[in-house]
Amino acid sequence: MPVPDPQTFARILDASIEGKYAIASINVTSSNTAAAALAAFAETKSDGILQISTGGGEFFSGPAKDMALGAIALAEYIHRIAERLDVYIAITTDHCVPAKVEPFLKPLIAEAKRRQQAGLRNLFNGHMFDGSELPMKQNMEIARGLLAEMAPLGLFLEVEAGVVGGEEDGIDNTHADHSKLFTTPEDMVYVYEQLHDLGAFTLAATFGNVHGVYKPGNVKLKPSILKDGNDAVVAKYGAAAKHKLVFHGGSGSTLDEIHETLDYGVVKMNVDTDCQYHFTRPIADHMLKNYDGVLRIDGEMGDKKTYDPRSYLKKGEKGMKDRVIQASTELRSLGKSIYRA
C-alpha cells in the first residue's frame, strides 16, 4: 500500500516533525516527470509526495482540457506504479486559487466521495487551497468549508497565509505587496483558531520565499518568521497546536535556510522549478549534440535511435531524478521511509 491511507500519511508527517526532516513534494505534469520522482524516492528509501497543479492536471488531460480529469488520471497512474515500490508515495494537489475551486477541487472531492461509496481507496491524500489573494477572513471562510467537506473523507487541507512571490503555473505574484510576503504571528494564530476543530491541515506560511530560481542575494528569506508564528500559537494553545508547515518556493534556497526551517515545523518542501530545469537540460543537450540525427537534413533520413522519444525522455527522467535525490538529501529524509513491508 505505498500510497498511504489517511492514518499513515499523518504518521509520515508526524515522523518528520519528530526527526527534524521534511518530505520532498514534487510537482508532476506527466508520466515521465512522475516516473523520475518515483525512481528517486525508491532508490533513496525516502517517502515522498507527488503533487498536481491545476495547470498540470489540464496538461495531462490532453484534448479533454479538464484539469480535474487530468489530475485523476495522473493520480491513477501514480497509484499503479507506486504499488511496486518499498516507500510511501503520497499524492496531493497544489495551488488551487479561489476561481478554480469549482472546476478543480470540487470534482476531486466528489470523486473521493464516489470512491468511498464504492469501497475504493482515496486517490489523493490532500488538496491545497491557495486563498492568499483574498483578505484573511474570506480566505479562512472558504478553507473552513473545504476542510469540513474533506476531513470526513480522510483528506488533509493545505492552506496559505501570506503570498509566495514570483510566478508559478499562471499564478503571478511578481509585483505583490512586499508586506504580504511575510506571514505574521497573528495570521498563524488565526489560521489555527479557524481550522483546528474541523480536521487535519497544513499551513504554507510565507517568509519572503519566492517561486522560481534567482541569483544568490536576490531573495531575502526570514525563516525566523516561522518560529515566531509557531511560538505564538503554542503560547496561546499549547504544544499540540504547533503548525505543520509547508515551504513553498524552495528551489533556489540555501542549505542553511532549508535546515533552519526544519527546526521550526516545516514538514514538506515543494520543489518544482529546479525539477523542470533538470528534466529539460539533458534533453536540450541531446538535441544539440544529435542535431543531424534528430532532424532529416539535406535529404537524409536522420537517426531513428536519436529521435525516438524514449532516447531523450530517459535522459530527462534521469536529470530530474537526480534533482529529487538532492532535495531529499537537503531535507534530511534519505533512508527515513516509515514503510514496512
pLDDT at 172: 42
- For the chain, the domain total comes to 1
pLDDT at 165: 42
264 Cβ contact list (under 8 Å, min separation 6): 223, 224, 226, 227, 230, 245
**Mean pLDDT score of the chain:** 91
Does 169 qualify as catalytic in the annotation? no
Residues of the chain with pLDDT > 90, as a percent, come to 82
More confident residue, 179 or 257: 257
Residue 226 has pLDDT above 50, yes or no: yes
Give a yes or no: residue 317 inside a domain: yes
**pLDDT digit string (tens) for 4-13?**
999 999 999 9
* pTM for this model (two decimals): 0.91
Give a yes or no: residue 337 inside a domain: no
Give a yes or no: residue 291 inside a domain: yes
Give a yes or no: residue 338 inside a domain: no
pLDDT at 341: 72
Q: What does the alpha-carbon distance between residue 187 and residue 20 come to, in Å, rounded to a whole number?
A: 24
Q: What's the mean pLDDT in 193-218?
A: 78
pLDDT band of 164, cuts 50, 70, 90: low
Q: What's the mean pLDDT in 23-40?
A: 98
Q: What does the alpha-carbon distance between residue 23 and residue 168 come to, in Å, rounded to a whole number?
A: 20
Q: What does the alpha-carbon distance between residue 114 and residue 51 come to, in Å, rounded to a whole number?
A: 21
**pLDDT digit string (tens) for 230-272?**
999 999 999 999 999 999 876 567 888 889 999 999 999 999 9
Cell of 178: 512586499
* Options 47, 66, 94, 187, the catalytic residue: 94
pLDDT at 207: 85
262 Cβ contact list (under 8 Å, min separation 6): 20, 21, 22, 331, 332
| CATH number, position 204 | 3.20.20.70
Q: Which domain holds residue 24?
A: 6-330
Residue 285 has pLDDT above 80, yes or no: yes
Give a yes or no: residue 1 inside a domain: no
